[in-house]
Structure 1
């Protein structure tokens, strides 16, 4: 009996759904079926910035919580001479991630099925834990953070990239995003996430805030077509593919509007940091203007 292929997994998952059910899927489930990259805010630049700031030691294990279809874990592994593990709850997402890593010849990354609120790893297992914005999708933020720190090694770094509101969004928009992501969406601030991730014996060593730029409808449409123009969707029923395309476009439209009220930060917390922070005389970057 032959081993099921990635195409088999996707076909089985889509066959189980009616068009009406696809039209009710949340964003994470559509990501899994379409192989949407689901990169962190800022994309690869954010991943590389985390590596620059965290400076993970050569050969020491790295974990991404919420690896989804593999973008960040593969990016991390491509820059590191270290074993990288991606953890996600969706088996179809994991299958896509494994296939991408194999196609790229990235052999130092492994994808594991599991929940970030109860991870299948020993204590003190990873020098760097990367958890982008996945904590927002979990029911108990503090419990998830406790798990991150449980598996983090002494003097290890927890890197997170939470999305939060810089301005209060209109309530109908907030509710639409809540429905799209399938979990309660609170109006949080950067300070909320700093307090959520803070623990005794843990130091916030980096905090870099960013804001989003609105996208044109044409750019969103082009991106939708790039996602949908993948070989694994070519043989699927046309009505179901159209429903997935429409659902994805709907998500991107409301997310783009929502992000105009939002920002994100690259936050790094170090366990057991030996020196006091912050310094008395705070500084800020000087942005040069060149003619």
Structure 2
């Protein structure tokens, strides 16, 4: 089965051999893997606290996949949330989950981040986790984010970058797993990318990753495969999926020893200068 067919087909239509060659994004969409941002729900809630959105705000989540971040935003905010993703199978999972929890303030569209189907100045908050890393044209995507951002709106990005260069063999393996030619980017790259002549970086927080044990990875894989919608799937297909997920998680865990991630918040048309002469730090 070709990769495009595999992405749009349900897992019940796949063989074990089909599953063994899928990239991570395809597996996520087929299994309804949560696909959390770095830091999970805590990161999303931190973004909510930083953004301080007014009631009725309009929020766009770039790369919503199976819906974790969009649903988290909608469950906490008095806001209208839109999640977009190019994967129709993952988007269907997201829609079903939102309906299951009765969240009427979130919707999901199948759309391309480099050609957003919304008018200019449509959103008060545009959120993108590490999605931009896997888009071929980073700058075109960035331009679209700002195009749909309203005056005084916030753009929040949570990019993963390398704090130290990884071995080339590891970089290639991670790129193969994600289905992209993964670039080695650093913190400055993402700050520069999201900088815009009319936007000001108003918040930046930096985090590092903690290694996971094989037992924790195995437990997480089991929790994904124990979902009710997978009960009728052939055991051989599920075994192939478990092996594929375990491979991905172990690979990513190794890769993240070289990486960090930031929460970057930009304000479009911010009226006051942000640089200060006398810097300060919190007293601990």
TM range (shorter): over 0.9
Q: Is residue 2:245 matched to residue 1:248?
A: yes
Who is 1:3 aligned against?
A: none
Who is 1:158 aligned against?
A: 155
Q: SS state of the match for residue 61, structure 1?
A: strand
Q: Is residue 2:110 matched to residue 1:102?
A: no
- 1:191-221 CA distances to partner (integer Å, 9 max, x unpaired)? 1000001110110000100000001110010
Structure 1 runs not aligned, ≥5 long: 1-9
Q: Is residue 2:17 matched to residue 1:17?
A: no
Alpha-carbon distance in structure 2 between the residues aligned to 1:53 and 1:271: 15
Who is 2:222 aligned against?
A: 225
Q: Is residue 2:173 matched to residue 1:214?
A: no
Match for residue 84 of structure 1 among 78, 81, 85 = 81
Who is 2:260 aligned against?
A: 263
Q: In the TM superposition, what is the alpha-carbon distance from 1:52 to its structure 2 partner?
A: 0.7
* Conserved 8 A contact 2:163-2:260: yes
Structure 2 runs not aligned, ≥5 long: 1-6
Alpha-carbon distance in structure 2 between the residues aligned to 1:17 and 1:35: 15
Q: SS state of the match for residue 177, structure 2?
A: helix
Alpha-carbon distance in structure 2 between the residues aligned to 1:285 and 1:38: 33
Who is 2:171 aligned against?
A: 174
Q: In the TM superposition, what is the alpha-carbon distance from 1:282 to its structure 2 partner?
A: 1.8
* Conserved 8 A contact 1:11-1:236: no
Q: Give the total of aligned pairs.
A: 279
* Conserved 8 A contact 2:81-2:107: yes
- 1:215-254 CA distances to partner (integer Å, 9 max, x unpaired)? 1110010000001111111111121111111101100000
TM-score by length of structure 2 reads 0.95
Q: SS state of the match for residue 272, structure 2?
A: coil
Q: In the TM superposition, what is the alpha-carbon distance from 1:21 to its structure 2 partner?
A: 2.2
Q: Is residue 2:47 matched to residue 1:50?
A: yes
Runs of 4+ deviating beyond 4 Å: none
- 1:266-289 CA distances to partner (integer Å, 9 max, x unpaired)? 000110000012111222333x3x
Q: SS state of the match for residue 69, structure 1?
A: coil
Q: Is residue 2:124 matched to residue 1:124?
A: no
Q: Is residue 2:136 matched to residue 1:139?
A: yes
Of 259-268 and 103-112, deviating more is: 103-112
Alpha-carbon distance in structure 1 between the residues aligned to 2:276 and 2:181: 37
Alpha-carbon distance in structure 2 between the residues aligned to 1:278 and 1:210: 22
Q: In the TM superposition, what is the alpha-carbon distance from 1:11 to its structure 2 partner?
A: 11
Q: SS state of the match for residue 266, structure 2?
A: strand
The alignment yields a C-alpha RMSD, in angstroms, of 1.5
Match for residue 192 of structure 1 among 168, 189, 192 = 189
